[in-house]
């Protein structure tokens, strides 16, 4: 209903019906361009709901077919070849993904992949449905290129998400990699958190290309305490056991890797403890980072004073620095998905050089629309080619190899 209302308003504003309607949205026509003033006039959560609903019913653009033959600016290398990546033994058509939080309940995975993302991470999914925190709970800071949210793991729960993920595996399967990010229910005591994560993994592991244990959202009371050494080890041990039990019939090498998502607001001791647990338990990867409770780089007052996690441009440098630090603490042995402030090819490239094998975005998509995906990918390929790298893998951790 909300999508139809916005389309009707677009027509009243003189937006051509061929743009506002679905008939031509097949190859790179971006409905959000003429509708962006309308979406920006809505509260952020409503705008996000409409955008996701539009994608779900086929009103989102597909990446233009010309990208398949695009070449880099310096040496004319095929962009697709430069970006093609293999991580955890899985092929990613490109290393630029959509971070968790955009499609929490896996309602529009295929259309989102069709925008050009190499992977989509759904969730966070909790074992039982929960509404999250009261609205309003999302706030724009356009002058800073940032968003504050305090969603609080609003989730349809595994019972709603599991059949949608299962449906993606029918036929040829999804057109890209699908990660599943899991969280605990708000009313689950912290000392029982491991059971919640294990329950979600048991239900969803069979439908995931990788799994992410989210212990770093600032919007669930006590959650970040799970990043402490003993609690983190307990949670991750239970998650790995749940995955292995649920997929006992699957060869170990073919089971989805387990990653842990960490916060940017950590002490040096916290980081060392996390690195130690990750290596001790042979955790397959890290997602770095979640939103921040810091307001550094944002003018105080107004929306900036809202409680919640900050994402977008102000987080970029801190998240990239944390990628570099965790890469160093794990001696480059643990693949990293770099998240936080990715809006350009240079942003993505900085995270790759810092140690990220893959990168993911969210806030830039909210502000700039689907066209940002292709721009980031082309920009990343041009950066790699400019500096003499034939592919992403060659550049991962390059800043650590400087003489």
Residues catalogued as catalytic = 217
> Which residues on adjacent β-strands are paired with residue 288?
262, 338
Q: Token digits for 362?
A: 């969210």
* Residue 217: Cβ within 10 Å count: 25
Place of tokens 């294990």: 198
Which among 244, 322, 334, 332 has a CA at the least distance from the CA of 280? 334
CA separation for the pair 388, 398 (Å, rounded): 12
CA separation for the pair 165, 144 (Å, rounded): 35
Asked if 266 and 274 touch (Cβ cutoff 8 Å), the reply is yes
Q: In whole angstroms, what separates CA 381 from the centre of its chain?
A: 20
Which H helix or E strand runs over 47? helix 44-56
* Residue 247: Cβ within 10 Å count: 18
CA separation for the pair 3, 391 (Å, rounded): 40
Asked if 274 and 262 touch (Cβ cutoff 8 Å), the reply is yes
**Strand ranges, E, within 72-157:** 85-87, 90-92, 96-98, 119-125, 138-141, 146-149
CB-count burial class (<10 Å; 0-12, 13-18, 19+) for 164: middle
CA separation for the pair 337, 355 (Å, rounded): 9
Q: How far apart are the first and last CA of the chain?
A: 59
């Amino acid at each position: 209903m909300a999508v139809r209302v916005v389309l009707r308003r677009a027509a009243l504003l003189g937006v051509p019906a061929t743009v506002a309607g679905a008939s031509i949205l097949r190859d790179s026509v971006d409905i959000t361009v003429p509708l962006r003033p309308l979406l920006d006039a809505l509260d952020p959560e409503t705008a996000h709901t409409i955008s996701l609903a539009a994608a779900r019913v086929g009103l989102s653009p597909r990446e233009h077919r010309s990208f398949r033959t695009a070449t880099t600016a310096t040496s004319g290398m095929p962009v697709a070849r430069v970006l093609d990546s293999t991580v955890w033994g899985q092929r990613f058509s490109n290393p630029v993904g959509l971070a968790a939080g955009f499609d929490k309940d896996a309602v529009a995975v295929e259309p989102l992949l069709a925008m050009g993302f190499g992977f989509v991470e759904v969730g966070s999914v909790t074992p039982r449905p929960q509404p999250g925190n009261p609205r309003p709970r999302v706030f724009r800071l356009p002058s800073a290129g940032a968003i504050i949210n305090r969603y609080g793991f609003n989730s349809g729960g595994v019972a709603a998400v599991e059949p949608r993920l299962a449906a993606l595996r029918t036929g040829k399967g999804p057109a890209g990699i699908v990660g599943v990010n899991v969280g605990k229910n708000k009313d689950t005591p912290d000392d029982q958190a491991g059971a919640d994560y294990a329950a979600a993994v048991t239900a969803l592991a069979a439908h995931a290309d990788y799994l992410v244990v989210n212990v770093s959202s600032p919007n669930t009371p006590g959650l970040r305490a799970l990043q402490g050494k003993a609690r983190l080890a307990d949670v991750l041990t239970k998650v790995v056991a749940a995955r292995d039990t649920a997929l006992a019939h699957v060869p170990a090498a073919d089971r989805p890797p387990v990653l842990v998502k960490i916060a940017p607001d950590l002490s040096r001791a916290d980081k060392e403890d996390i690195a130690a647990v990750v290596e001790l338990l042979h955790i397959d990867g890290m997602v770095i980072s979640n939103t921040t409770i810091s307001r550094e780089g944002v003018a105080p007052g107004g929306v900036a004073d809202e409680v919640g996690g900050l994402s977008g441009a102000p987080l970029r440098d801190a998240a990239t620095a944390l990628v570099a630090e965790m890469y160093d603490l794990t001696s480059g042995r643990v693949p990293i998905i770099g998240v936080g402030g990715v809006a350009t090819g240079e942003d993505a490239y900085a995270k790759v050089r810092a140690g990220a094998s893959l990168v993911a975005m969210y806030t830039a998509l909210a502000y700039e629309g689907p066209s940002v995906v292709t721009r980031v990918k082309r920009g990343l390929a041009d950066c790699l080619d400019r500096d003499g790298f034939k592919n992403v893998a060659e550049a991962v951790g390059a800043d650590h190899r400087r003489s």
